[in-house]
Amino acid sequence: MLRYCIAALLLVISLPALAQPTIIPAPSQEKPVLITGAMIHVGNGKVIENGAILFADGKITGIGTAGSLDAPGATIIDAAGKHVYPGFIACHSIMGLAEVEAVRATRDFNETGSLNPNVRAIVAYEADSYVPATVRSNGVLLAQVAPQGGVISGTSSVVMLDAWHWEDAAYKMDGGLWISWPGMSINAAAEDEEREKQREQAEKSLSALKEFFRQAKAYGELSSPAVKNLRFEAIKGIFTGEKQLFIRAGRAKDILAAVNWSRSLNIRPVIYGGNEAHLVAEFLKENQVPVILGDPHSLPARDDDDVNLPYKRAALLKEADVQFCISTWGYWQLRNLPFMAGTTAAYGLSPEEALSAITLEPARILGIEASTGSLETGKDATLFISAGDALDMRGNQVEAAFIRGRKIDLDNKQKQLYRKYTEKYGQ
């Protein structure tokens, strides 16, 4: 009887999913494609008016002015009056690791425990999630999916937002290790007694983190460990340079402490969050520490901060010559990533500098700039065509998008629902 009840329940749960139209991942590129007449935003600060871009077998084979490229047999796309951009890159996301955050069974980004370097976000990535299709409709074509929770959260991977499964989606696998700096847990607004408890817990967590890395470093120096330790194995790449260390830290003193600790281990980290990174910009520049600015569309961290400070941080770091990019931690906000960059362009950055902050700069920070992040010969043909300015919500109208030359389906669940209810109420 129980078996039949479970089967009936699973059928009821699956019915809504079965009712949704299917979006099929794109096949490999079969013939060359030439986009001509568009304004091409290269991603490195350059703009080509009335430009042309040619790609074949998933790679860009030529770029220049309209009429300058020879493309016999190519599919020609007339993009006169439109814009071509490199695919936007989300440098930090839980997309594909969570579908409905209120339902524990769909939340695969937070593991039990405090020190979990062996947790791999990529194996939990759900390529059939409804979220990537919605996000890529605004030009976000690549994303680094990162685990949350604990002090050492686990390893992140870069994925393409059009794939059959996680192996198919993987662009750069297990390239980053994520740490949440313990000092972040102290609430300055709490009562003295509670704040003291938080401080004690933070110190305890920090001691555990330092001891764990000390042991991991000693383990990595062994030529042949007697017993294989999976958690220490996951950290080896940090010391050899094969993996990048990402540290979540917002306050200035936490950033200073995190960078100094990393330096003691001969590691150059990347700071994520950076609410007060502009206050220690000179220190970050001296130590060549990049910053992933989290969510410019947020409130100031301090009560007496300039209300527009979140919009200005990017320009402040640019002025201080600190390497940075722009991202956001959630997945529901990722479709607004281009508009976050657009806001920074209204508060100090040039439009092309803002574009680089979500294309070439994240590619550099993630170590994938040789193959993506800008529109240059030899790089992947990961790009899209927009009817207008893609950093402006009024102009961002993505008409065609390609990932490694594959023309992807730009339909998504929200568009499907729009069509459905337009049919019902628009008559």
The whole-angstrom separation of Cα 368 and Cα 262 is 23
The whole-number pLDDT of residue 21 equals: 52
246, 272 Cβ separation under 8 angstroms: yes
Residue 138 amino acid letter? N
> d(Cα 174, Cα 112) in Å, to the nearest integer?
20
- CA-closest candidate to residue 391, choices 351, 347, 332: 351
Dist. CA 390–CA 73, nearest whole Å: 30
Yes or no: say if 65 and 117 are a contact pair by the CB < 8 Å rule: no
Q: Which pair of structure tokens corresponds to residue 235?
A: 């950290």
Q: How far apart are alpha carbons 404 and 68 in whole angstroms? A: 23
Residue 355: exposure state from Cβ atoms within 10 A (0-12, 13-18, ≥19):
buried
Q: Find, among 313, 382, 349, 353, the residue nearest to 140 by Cα.
A: 382
- For residue 59, what are the CA distances in angstroms to 74, 286, 401? 14, 37, 14
Please name the residue that has the structure tokens 């009024």: 394
pLDDT of 98:
85
Distance CA 160, CA 89 (A): 10
Length of the chain: 427
What is the DSSP code string of 200-229? HHHHHHHHHHHHHHHHHHHHHT-SS-SS--
Q: What is the pLDDT of residues 356-407, one digit of tens each?
A: 999 999 999 999 999 999 999 999 999 999 999 999 999 999 999 999 999 9
Domain ranges of the chain: 19-87+376-427, 88-372
Nearest to 263 by CA among 233, 279, 249, 283: 283
- Cα distances from 300 to residues 115, 305, 339, 392, in angstroms, run 31, 6, 18, 23
pLDDT at 12: 43
19-87+376-427 and 88-372, same CATH topology? no
**Is 151 in contact with 205 (CB distance < 8 Å)?**
yes
- pLDDT, tens digit, 9 for 90 and up, residues 296-339: 998 888 888 999 999 999 999 999 999 999 998 777 789 999 99
What pLDDT is attached to residue 116? 93
Which range has the worst mean pLDDT, 91-100, 193-202, 251-260, 266-275? 193-202
What is the spatial distance between Cα 373 and Cα 162, in angstroms, rounded to a whole number? 17
The SS3 assignment for 394 reads coil
Beta bridge partners of 383: 86, 402
The CATH architecture that domain 19-87+376-427 belongs to is Roll (2.30)
Which stretches of 81-223 are assigned E, i.e. beta strand?
83-86, 88-93, 140-145, 152-160, 170-180
Q: What is the DSSP letter of 185?
A: G
Average pLDDT of the segment spanning 147-153: 92
For the chain, how big is the Rg over CA atoms in Å? Answer: 23
| Triad 402, 126, 124: Cα angle to 5° | 125
Chain position carrying tokens 């020190």: 115
Confidence tier at 274 by pLDDT (50, 70, 90): confident
What percentage of the chain has pLDDT greater than the value 90?
72
Mean predicted confidence (pLDDT) in 101-119:
83
DSSP category for residue 29:
P
Q: Binning pLDDT at 50, 70 and 90, where does residue 188 land?
A: low
Task: Say yes or no to pLDDT of 234 above 90.
Answer: yes
Residue 7's pLDDT band, with cuts at 50, 70 and 90, is: very low
Nearest to 141 by CA among 97, 85, 63: 85
CA 86 to chain CA mean position, Å: 14
Tell whether domain 88-372 is in CATH 3.20.20.140. yes
